[in-house]
A and B are shown apart, each in its own frame.
Chain A
Amino acid sequence: MNSPEPVTILAEDQRQARFIRADLRNRIPGLSQRAIYDAPMANVQGSGAQWVIDHYEAEILAHLIRRAKLPDRRRSEKWLIVAIDADAGTVQDRLNEFRRRIKESQDERVRKCRVERDNVARLIPKWSIETWILNLNGETIDEDTSYKRRHSEWDGLIPIAAAELHVWIRSGEDLPDRCTPSLKLGIAELRLLTA
């Protein structure tokens, strides 16, 4: 990106959004807080994942409308980053749900969307973003365990995780062995934003 441009984040909770914001600031020096917009999130008591799924189509459409107003050469400056935990399901389950929402959209613009081409990144940690945060903080973990309750305080771990993520994104194909499969997919999505 030539200059910081607004990025929209559709996340299911504040921790996901904070992790993504930290990554963005590492990747785009000078990116101000004003350049990042967190779309409204679900009530913490509600289902954050369902909220993201329900708002996915609208955010895709808003993103496409916004990009369409720009000349082709500038469209890649506008990003939409979507984050949703895979929870007990699989990453593929979530991707299938996203694809279904696009395929069944009433709006032709959404149906024509190709997320890889249209600067939409979908981050789907298995189980949850805490798994990625621990993984990026040097822990070897598995994706069959929920680590949400490992710590009561996660804020301090997020900047370290985001800094490590930045290194991994820039490291080409040589991701560490301990990198979990869902994080590998997430890194691939994030790399596409700047491809």
Chain B
Amino acid sequence: MLKRLYIDNFRCFVNFEYKPERKQLLLGANGSGKSSLLDAILFVKWFIEGGENRFTQSTRTRWQDVPIQVIEIEAQLDEKRFEYRLEIRYAPESKLPSISLEKLTVSGSLVFEFVDGEIHFFPNEGKEATVLPWESKQSALLLAQFSNLHVGRFIAWMKTLHCFQVDPYPLEMDETADGEDETPEYDLSNLAPWYRHLLQVEPENNARFLAALKDTLTGFQSLRFSAVDDGVRKLRTHFDAPRKEGATYSISELSEGQRMLIGLYMILHFVIAKGQTVILDEPDNFVSLREIQPWLLSAEEAVGDSKGQLILISHHPEVLNQWSQEHGIRFFREENGHVRTERFKTDYDGVLQPSEVIARGWENE
């Protein structure tokens, strides 16, 4: 479970600390930093998983000139406290970024460190064994995953830390699957190859997923792959149709809302229900009002059952009214400065719904 996040000198975050709970709703005005928080985590996740460093000069806080950017991620795994720290230093003239520090501690003991161009491997906790020179724009953590079980455990957990900004536009959400993807992309652009993988490995969750779709999408019958030219398989839906046994539609022929719902229920049944940590940005986009609460309540129950973690970012009245009182964290910026947070509270309990208070702009009076 994600326990703590520290961000300094990234966009509008300066010396920012956030300790998420098992269920949380991040709310606040446009530009208050909610989605940037997700981006910070996503950049670290991509970096640790072997991608390029996405922290660049343009991601530094504009109104200060601090050469070091810091991100810390703390997780509680197997009753141990994992603390990962990443420092990016920007060269004075070129402003080019380089990794100046990357380290992982477990319950206070160093298990991996990259500093001053050297990787320090710690096969046994607290005991330094090997030093290796390292020059790369990529994370050195991956190299250490087999030297220390804790490093491998943390990397594996990072792979199950999901940040989603689902994009249901047909050109983004590909319906072809010429292979299988084990993990979903942040925007679900690989929905079809991910589902192809899930079909093989999670038949029980798939049955629940399809049942949920039948309950949600009017006339929905099935979701299956059909072989087309060159062995490429395309994801097709089958719906009831008037005076026919049914009609088949490709994923791209569905509405954005229908695609979004398919994506949301996949996240629910294949990620949240497995107890993983999910940060989901605006799940209510494109979704009809009637469908928001059923998904939200199902997700809440899934988090409870699986001991997972769900952090939602939303402006939607239905989500605000359901979650803000108990789980709401308000993001705000005073005078367009750095991001601050406070637990959402309303003095209008029983008088106005939280969404009404926010719509009136009274939450920060």
Contact = CB atoms under 8 A, between A and B. Distances in A.
Contact of B348 (A8, A40, A62, A70): A62
Interface string A50-72: 00000000100110011001100
Contacts of A69: 347, 365
Contacts of A58: 351-352
A34 interface: yes
Nearest to A63: B351
A65 B351 contact: yes
Grouping DSSP codes into helix (H, G, I), strand (E, B) and loop, the B interface class, with mixed when no group exceeds half, is: loop
B204 to A, nearest CB: 44
A70 B351 CA distance: 18
A40 B347 CA distance: 19
Interface string B342-365: 000001100110001001111001
Interface of B: 347-348, 351-352, 356, 359-362, 365
23 contacts: A6-B360, A6-B361, A6-B362, A8-B360, A34-B361, A37-B359, A37-B360, A37-B361, A40-B356, A58-B351, A58-B352, A61-B351, A62-B348, A62-B351, A62-B352, A65-B347, A65-B348, A65-B351, A66-B362, A66-B365, A69-B347, A69-B365, A70-B365
A82 to B, nearest CB: 16
A57 to B, nearest CB: 9
Nearest to A58: B351
Contacts of B347: 65, 69
Contacts of A37: 359-361
Interface of A: 6, 8, 34, 37, 40, 58, 61-62, 65-66, 69-70
Contacts of B361: 6, 34, 37
A61 B123 CA distance: 64
Given A58-B352, A62-B351, 4 more contacts: A6-B361, A6-B362, A37-B359, A61-B351
A143 B352 CA distance: 36
Contacts of A70: 365
A65 B357 CA distance: 12
Contacts of B360: 6, 8, 37
A70 B361 CA distance: 15
Nearest to B360: A37
Contacts of A62: 348, 351-352
A66 B364 CA distance: 11
Contacts of B351: 58, 61-62, 65
Contacts of B365: 66, 69-70
A132 B230 CA distance: 73
B29 to A, nearest CB: 11
A34 B360 CA distance: 9
A70 B362 CA distance: 12
Contacts of A61: 351
Nearest to B357: A62
A61 B349 CA distance: 11
A139 B348 CA distance: 44
A40 B356 CA distance: 9
Contacts of B359: 37
Contacts of A6: 360-362
B324 to A, nearest CB: 17
A186 to B, nearest CB: 24
Most buried by B among A6, A8, A61, A62: A62
B342 to A, nearest CB: 15
A58 B349 CA distance: 11
The 3 closest A-B pairs by CB, nearest first: A37-B360, A62-B351, A61-B351
Contacts of B348: 62, 65
A40 B360 CA distance: 11
A34 B359 CA distance: 10
B10 to A, nearest CB: 30
B220 to A, nearest CB: 31
A151 B352 CA distance: 36
